[in-house]
Amino acid sequence: MLSILIVDDEVLIREGLSRMISKQSEFFHVAGSCQNGREALELLSGGGIDLVITDIRMPEVDGLELIRKVKEHYPNTRCILMSGFTEFSYARDAIRYSAVDYLLKPIDKEQLFGLLHRLDTENRERADQENRLRLRLLDSYLHAGSASHSSAPMLSLPQPFYAVCVHRAGNSETMLEGSEHFRMVNGLDTDCLTLQPLLQMWIGYFPEEPTPEAIRQFFKPLLSAGGGAPVHVGASASRSQLSELKAAYVEASRACYAGIYSDASLFFAYSEDLAPTPESVSEPTAADWKELGESLQILSTDRVTEWLRQQFAALRLRRAEPQEIVRFCRNVEEEAAKEFQDLFPLSREERETLEKSLLSCMTFAKMEELFLSSLLPALDQIRGVRKELGGKAVEHVKRWIAANYNQHADLNSLAGMVFLTPSYLSKLFKQETGLTLTEYITEIRIKKAKLLLRQEPNMKVHSIGAEVGYPDPAYFNKLFKRVVGVTPNEYKKILP
């Protein structure tokens, strides 16, 4: 909306212009009228004027002096000069002072409204550009480290004080409804950064340092949303320096995320009202993670479930924020993926999707159940395959080695064939055969080499080595002598 101030010492002209402009468009608002430049400057000091339409000849402060002062003190306010034909030389002076344009009296409606519509469009474009620039700068202050503040572009706030609010909602419809209602109530005094699809940061501006209650009342309209979806709102204490924006966001975020521990569908918290985090509750220790690893190795889902429940209870006690909960879940997934490697059925993409779903949960209980319902079935799937194989895993590996003894046998690949972890397969194979996998493969290959030395006397030794999986002749000779006690050529000579 274009806010207009009319300045003319003739009351009929002031009133006539006011009526004419007000009827033309809902986007034109005559904010006031004055009979001279002195009154106009007093009204301009209150702010909010986009355009001054002024006559030239007026008592006390004339139109040209008014334009000079407007350009000096209010550079974003545009000016239109009204003049009679005999005052055209004055109009040229006005143009030098950057008046937008001039209108000859009597005022031509078409010319006037053409100017107003153009200025309104320019004003909107400038406001949009300034808003986009301010949001980019606010975003840079939010994400920049403290050391970067000195190099960040200067940004003047709309008001001397501000407070930050973090706004979450259970669905996009509820988020939009709450945001639109909030803009209707406080829109001119706010900025909004969308951090995630259902997560916003609002900045509210205040002419004087607000009290905690004033901050609460300012942001509570965000709770005015229907649809039954939960809404969580958290507000920070007031600030006056942009360098404190990130700290204010952290305060508001902590207040907002406290909502996951509340039974209320509509939750509001002011940062200074939150209870301190219990210091007695610690994060999982190295011994805790070792216990989880041992439970995963033997695929005891009961023990894994019990361990997870205990850790989630600790997270609840220390009022962990969703990001901390997701980090914990990620560490558990990585522990399972490390133990099961390629056997772990949750791909990296699926785990990233799970993290996004966890962050969108509005209650702690839903986060806990969502994670357990994703991890435990994956473990059950691995255990089911392992159980189905039963004691056949080692025999399956031995059959593969017998058929493919001359190929490279990677422990991870062999374990993947029988749905076991590499470490578990190594232990199981040693337990059932008395040999490590490497020792067993060596034994099979040397037996095959001895058979070829007996059955193919004309076959060269290096060809036999390559045939059984040892393409390096020197290594084959050395290994053969270590196992058999003589070199392949010596073995040939002692054959009957």
SS3 state of residue 229: coil
Element spanning 164, H or E? strand 161-169
Task: State the average pLDDT over residues 287-298.
Answer: 89
Confidence of residue 147 (pLDDT cuts 50, 70, 90): very low
Higher pLDDT, 75 or 385: 75
**For residue 228, is pLDDT > 80?**
no
Is the predicted pLDDT of residue 386 greater than 60, yes or no? Answer: yes
Q: What is the pLDDT of residue 145?
A: 56
Q: Where does residue 167 rank: exposed (0-12), middle (13-18), buried (19+ CB within 10 A)?
A: buried
d(CA 478, CA 378): 46
CA distances from 478 to 302, 378, 445, 482, 487 (A): 50, 46, 14, 6, 7
pTM of the model: 0.65
Q: CA 406 to CA 198: how far, in whole Å? A: 57
> Are the C-beta atoms of 189 and 204 separated by less than 8 Å?
yes
Q: Which secondary-structure segment (H or E) carries 3?
A: strand 2-7
Quick: pLDDT tens for 25-70: 888 999 999 999 999 999 998 888 999 999 888 888 888 888 889 9
Q: Is 32 helix (H, G, I), strand (E, B) or coil?
A: strand
For domain 392-493, the CATH superfamily is Homeodomain-like (1.10.10.60)
**88-102, 416-430, 459-473: lowest mean pLDDT where?**
88-102
Say how far apart CA 58 and CA 41 lie, in whole Å: 13
Domain ranges of the chain: 2-123, 161-273, 286-388, 392-493
For position 442, what pLDDT does the model report? Answer: 94
The secondary element (H helix, E strand) that includes residue 252 is helix 245-257
pLDDT of residue 99: 57
The Cα–Cα gap between 271 and 248 comes to 9
pLDDT on residue 393 = 84
Superfamily in which the 2-123 domain is placed by CATH: Response regulator (3.40.50.2300)
Q: Give the span between the Cα atoms of 495 and 411, in whole angstroms.
A: 35
Looking at domain 161-273, its CATH superfamily turns out to be Reverse transcriptase/Diguanylate cyclase domain (3.30.70.270)
